[in-house]
Amino acid sequence: MDINIGTLAGQTIAMIVFVWFCMKYIWPPILTAIEERQEKIAEGLAAAESGQEKLVEAEAEAESIIAEAKRQASTILDQANARANEIVADGKNDGVKERERQLTAAKAEIEQETNRAREELRGQVSAIAIAGAQKILEREIDDASHQDILGKLAKQL
Amino acid sequence: MAAEGGQDGGSGYYIQHHLQNLQVCRVEGEWVWNDCAGNFWAMNVDSMFWSVLLGLIFLVSFRSVAKKTSADKPSRWQAVVEMIVEFVDSSVKDTFHGKSKLIAPLGLTIFVWVFLMNLMDLIPVDWIPGLSYLIGIEYMKIVPTTDVNITFAMAISVFILIIFYTIKNKGITGFIGELTMHPIAPPTKGAGIIAAPLIIAFNFILESVALLAKPLSLSLRLFGNMFAGELIFILIALIGWFQLPLHFGWAVFHILVVTLQAFIFMMLTIVYLSLASEKH
């Protein structure tokens, strides 16, 4: 347990060198890393907080957008229903009109046809009657002098 | 375990043998081993070897982290190192309010280095001395902090820093003033001025003792604790098979002492240096 200069000096020199090395090459990089990480953690926490806030905002916005969309959808639905009813009503009207028009047209045609057939028949009947009368009477009957009688006859058919 | 002691001279010899440093000195132009008692120009080779080795272990292991620090993905060892660094850093920031690039790394070096040196105390007392005895080295004290030279050298370095910081922050007059103008302010006018030199002398004696007590208490506290702990390990090693539970118990208790003494040395260094740089 004697004091001796060799150990004292040696240890002092060793200490100076070690402290110098630590000060130069160990302490600064490690502390920089620690501080950098602390900064990053603080930033991360702040970002998380702002993210949370944004999420709340976005949720509120989404809700309002959904409500608006629902409102619009119901309006569109109402409009569409009304339009559909209108179309159906129009269709019905058109159908009825068309039916009546076609009915009238058919009736007129039938009438026309009937009249035409009647006329023809009348002509033919009067011709047959004349031919019959000619064959029966043969001699005296003149087409022109009996025209009025034949006309009356044809009209009665 | 007391076999060595039993060879020549029993337990007294055993204890003495364990407390003897491996020394080298120069006597009459020749290098002499182990015959240097009382020689001021000697060196405790074992203390120096272990002290430097442990210091290098500290530097290399911490440097390996410092070289590839990453803020994103710290390895486990980096986490441990950062924990120690942050612990020292917060201790320094709590106590020392000035700006200094030196004090925090100094505190870290002292803490880890002293801790490692103290930790050697937990290696059973005969292992390494026994091995070195086998390869022909007679004495081997593996706990550098049980060598008063080691603790004293560290305390003197701190003492020099204390004086340096005092002069740097308060000037040479401030340093002298601190030694002479406290705790009793000498009168500057009136009849009492005759007593001023006496008061200054009194102050100087008191303050010098207070100043010198700092490195002395710093070194002797660490040395005393570690020496006493080592001595008890040696005494426990003397008692045969019953030493095992006793050794275990004392070692567990000693873990506390090892850490605490390293912390105290670091903390007092920081406190002394912050006192030196504080302006009144």
In 3D space, the residue among B7, B24, B187 whose CA is nearest the CA of residue A6 turns out to be B24
Q: How many CB pairs under 8 A join A and B?
A: 138
Residue A98 structure tokens: 């068309």
Asked, for residue B201, whether it belongs to a domain, the answer is yes
Asked, for residue B14, whether it belongs to a domain, the answer is no
pLDDT attached to residue B9: 60
- B98/A138 Cα distance (integer angstroms): 162
User: Which one is predicted more confidently, B63 or B193?
Assistant: B63
Asked, for residue B97, whether it belongs to a domain, the answer is yes
Query: A101-110, B96-105, B160-169: which has the minimum mean pLDDT?
Result: B96-105
pLDDT digits (tens, 9 = 90+) for B138-167: 888 889 999 999 999 999 999 999 999 999
Domain of residue B138 covers 46-277
Active site residue B217: yes
Q: Which residues does chain B have within 8 Å of residue A12's beta carbon, measured at their own beta carbons?
A: 153-154, 156-157
Decide if A96 touches B, using CB distance below 8 A.
no
- B261/B265 Cα distance (integer angstroms): 6
pLDDT attached to residue B5: 38
Alpha carbon B179 to its chain centroid, in Å, reads 26
At A71, the amino acid letter reads R
- B165/B269 Cα distance (integer angstroms): 12
pTM: 0.74
By three-state DSSP, how is residue B182 classified? Answer: coil
Among A1-5, A64-68, B183-187, the range of highest mean pLDDT: A64-68
Active site residue B221: yes
Which residues in chain B (162-181) have CB-CB distances under 8 A to chain A? none
pLDDT over 90 (residue B254): yes
Confidence of residue B137 (pLDDT cuts 50, 70, 90): confident
pLDDT attached to residue B1: 38
- A87/A92 Cα distance (integer angstroms): 8
Nearest CA in chain A to B63: A26
Segments making up each domain of chain A, as ranges: 5-156
Query: A107-121, B15-29, B152-166: which has the minimum mean pLDDT?
Result: B15-29
Which residues in chain A (47-76) have CB-CB distances under 8 A to chain B? none
Alpha carbon A81 to its chain centroid, in Å, reads 14
Q: What is the average pLDDT across A56-64?
A: 96
Q: Which residues does chain A have within 8 Å of residue B71's beta carbon, measured at their own beta carbons?
A: 33, 36-37, 40
pLDDT attached to residue A77: 95
- Are A11 and B117 contacting, i.e. CB atoms less than 8 angstroms apart? no
Residues whose CB falls within 8 Å of the CB of residue B136, separated by 6 or more in sequence, listed in order: none
**Interior/surface letters A105-118, b for 16+ CB within 10 angstroms, e for the rest:** eeeeeeeeeeeeee
A138: left (phi over 0), alpha (psi -120 to 50) or beta: left
- B143/B100 Cα distance (integer angstroms): 31
Query: B2-11, B92-101, B171-180, B244-253: which has the minimum mean pLDDT?
Result: B2-11
Matching residue, tokens 């023809």 = A120
Q: Which residues does chain A have within 8 Å of residue B109's beta carbon, measured at their own beta carbons?
A: 15, 18-19, 22
Asked, for residue B59, whether it belongs to a domain, the answer is yes
B152 and A8 in contact by Cβ < 8 A?
yes
ipTM over 0.95: no
Asked, for residue B227, whether it belongs to a domain, the answer is yes
- Are A36 and B174 contacting, i.e. CB atoms less than 8 angstroms apart? no
B69 and A5 in contact by Cβ < 8 A?
no
Partner residue facing B105 (CB), from A3, A23, A32: A23
pLDDT attached to residue B279: 67
Catalytic residue among B217, B219, B274, B277: B217
Active site residue B225: yes
pLDDT over 80 (residue B72): no
Residues whose CB falls within 8 Å of the CB of residue A5, separated by 6 or more in sequence, listed in order: B40, B41, B42, B43
- Are B227 and B270 contacting, i.e. CB atoms less than 8 angstroms apart? no
- Are B208 and B179 contacting, i.e. CB atoms less than 8 angstroms apart? yes
- B113/B55 Cα distance (integer angstroms): 6
pLDDT digits (tens, 9 = 90+) for B207-248: 999 999 999 999 999 999 999 999 999 888 888 788 888 889
Handedness of CA B81, B83, B87, B92 (dihedral sign): positive
Q: How many domains does chain B have?
A: 1
Q: Which residues does chain B have within 8 Å of residue A4's beta carbon, measured at their own beta carbons?
A: 23, 25, 36, 39-44, 149
Partner residue facing A2 (CB), from B38, B47, B150: B38
Confidence of residue A124 (pLDDT cuts 50, 70, 90): confident
Q: What is the average pLDDT across A106-125?
A: 90
pLDDT over 60 (residue B6): no
pLDDT attached to residue B92: 92
